[in-house]
Amino acid sequence: MTMLEIIEKKKFGQELTKEEITFFANAAAEKTVPDYQLSALLMAIRLNGMTDRETTDLTLAMRDSGDIADLSAIPGIKVDKHSTGGVGDTTTLVLAPLVAACGAPVAKMSGRGLGHTGGTLDKLESIPGLNITLSVEDFIRQVKEIGVAVVGQTGRLAPADKTLYSLRDVTSTVDSLPLIVSSILSKKLAAGSDAIVLDVKTGSGAIMHTLEDSLKLAENMVRVGVLAGKPIVALVSGMDQPLGTHVGNALEVKEAIDILAGRRAGGDLLEVSLTLGGFMLHLAGKAETPEAGQQMMKQAIDSGAGLEKLKQMIAAQGGDPSVCDDVTRLPQAKVVRPVFCGVSGWVTKMDTMALGLAAQAMGAGRMKVDDELDYSVGFVLQVRIGDRVEADTPLCVLHARSEADADRAEAAVRAAVTIGQEPCGRVSDFFAVVTKDGVRRLGADS
């Protein structure tokens, strides 16, 4: 068997065998064939697709290309959550401590920011002293002791994906459904959890901009997850505006703390966190229904148990838990100033990707892999789609490292938010739930 033979086969749209797919994944992990041959096969897959069986075989081969975390020493059903990425998406910092406070262990390996999307690890590292690099032994011990840990992935977790992802980024094959599915699920399966809840984003700030494309991705991931032997549920949620009002690492940590402390009684971030967490508690066997799980999490907020669990996690990972009592101990920007709408009307649209890129340009995200972040910068949006605004209505509050940065960010935020003269409706948080039994559409069109 040679790589050239496998490329030739897929070039003509033929189905690859399990052995051929395993050869490909191992070659990517061990770098035993040239990048140009890996790239050629990626493009053939992008153009001709893969069957569910092929995608499952690729997912499992990529999972098996490196270490697989053994979480069996942790009692209970371990449930992981994965989001396909967005702006202001701080759900992990809200739901992980809440789910743990409700009795379900959360052993989560997360990632860093990519492009316009924020990363959970970057947000956590804005907490003074917090360490996201734990040994497997320390990771497991922490979850056994306090019920929750959120850490970075090990270097040998699905190494085939690391190679292939970097090639997809430069060969215009990022949007291939089989490659997206195998990339996400191989890492989730290697991370060792017993069940998975997926949050598939749709809209202007998502990897998939249309609802139909997002549904296809969700359905593909659920089918492959089931074939791989994992209980899995996917929810399709909106990313036509930032999920939370705070965009930027320390600012997003502050918003999560405010929610857990009960200072934010509503809002999309809370709603999405409760919904995803409800499904996690249901899959973990702690709640009879997802709705019952949501009620348990609300009680954990009211009792303070969720915030206490976050404090325990921060302390266990070497961070300063006092930030939960005094958010000003988080990194603070040098320049803080409001921006006003300037015109009357209704907020009709947001270019969420542009808003994420604006925060990235301020220093909240990386332009290059080795860029250092400024954890303090970003902005707090004061409006949502559907709001009526006047000229003196605050549009956002900028947190910048210089006046010049603030000027550039103000221009970018203004350009990304459309204020029209006709009223419009609110945008939906959720559009569908996808399980092994099919798709259940939500909302007015369901």
Say how far apart CA 386 and CA 374 lie, in whole Å: 32
Burial tier of 37 (Cβ tally within 10 Å: 0-12, 13-18, 19+): middle
> 59 and 10 in one domain?
yes
> Domain end: 165, 188, 211, which one?
188
* Contact criterion met (CB below 8 Å) for 174 and 85: no
Domain that holds residue 290: 79-153+189-325+431-441
The model's pLDDT over 230-259, given as tens digits with 9 standing for 90+, comes to: 999 999 999 999 999 999 999 999 999 999
Q: Is 82 a catalytic residue?
A: yes
* pLDDT string in tens for the chain (446-residue length): 899 999 999 999 999 999 999 999 999 999 999 999 999 999 999 999 999 999 999 999 999 999 888 899 999 999 999 888 889 999 999 999 999 999 999 998 876 655 566 688 899 999 999 999 988 889 999 999 999 999 987 768 889 998 998 888 788 888 899 999 999 899 889 988 899 999 999 998 887 889 999 999 999 999 999 988 899 999 999 999 999 999 999 999 999 999 999 998 789 999 999 999 999 999 999 999 999 999 999 999 999 999 999 999 999 999 999 999 999 999 999 999 999 999 999 999 999 999 999 999 999 987 766 678 999 999 999 999 999 999 999 999 999 999 999 999 999 999 999 999 999 999 999 999 999 999 999 864 44
To the question of pTM greater than 0.75 for the whole model, the response is: yes
Which candidate in 81, 112, 162, 168 is catalytic? 168
The Cβ of residue 365 has, within 10 Å, a number of other Cβ atoms equal to 28
Which candidate in 183, 204, 376, 428 is catalytic? 183
* Contact criterion met (CB below 8 Å) for 383 and 397: no
> 240 and 289 in one domain?
yes
- Closest of 139, 115, 137, 113 to residue 124, by C-alpha: 113
- Name the domain count of the chain: 3
Q: Could you tell me the CA-to-CA distances from 229 to 14, 16, 224 in Å, in that order?
A: 26, 21, 9
- Closest of 192, 231, 232, 190 to residue 60, by C-alpha: 190
* In-domain check, residue 135: yes
Say how far apart CA 434 and CA 440 lie, in whole Å: 6
> 269 and 249 in one domain?
yes
* In-domain check, residue 74: no
The model's pLDDT over 153-184, given as tens digits with 9 standing for 90+, comes to: 776 888 999 899 888 878 888 889 999 999 98
> 121 and 251 in one domain?
yes
Q: The CATH number of the domain where 224 resides is what? A: 3.40.1030.10
* In-domain check, residue 426: no
Q: Is 186 a catalytic residue?
A: no
* In-domain check, residue 264: yes
Q: What share of the chain is helix, strand, coil (3-state, %, to 5)?
A: 45, 15, 35
Which candidate in 89, 161, 199, 268 is catalytic? 161
> 300 and 206 in one domain?
yes
* In-domain check, residue 446: no
The HSE-up count of residue 420 (CA atoms within 13 Å, CB side) is: 10
* Rg over CA atoms, the chain: 22
Q: Is 161 a catalytic residue?
A: yes
| Identity at 326, one-letter amino acid code | D
> 352 and 296 in one domain?
no
> 213 and 196 in one domain?
yes
> 260 and 149 in one domain?
yes
* In-domain check, residue 302: yes
> 161 and 17 in one domain?
yes
Q: Is 187 a catalytic residue?
A: yes
* In-domain check, residue 425: no
Which candidate in 46, 82, 254, 282 is catalytic? 82
Q: The CATH number of the domain where 353 resides is what? A: 3.90.1170.30
Which candidate in 187, 254, 282, 286 is catalytic? 187
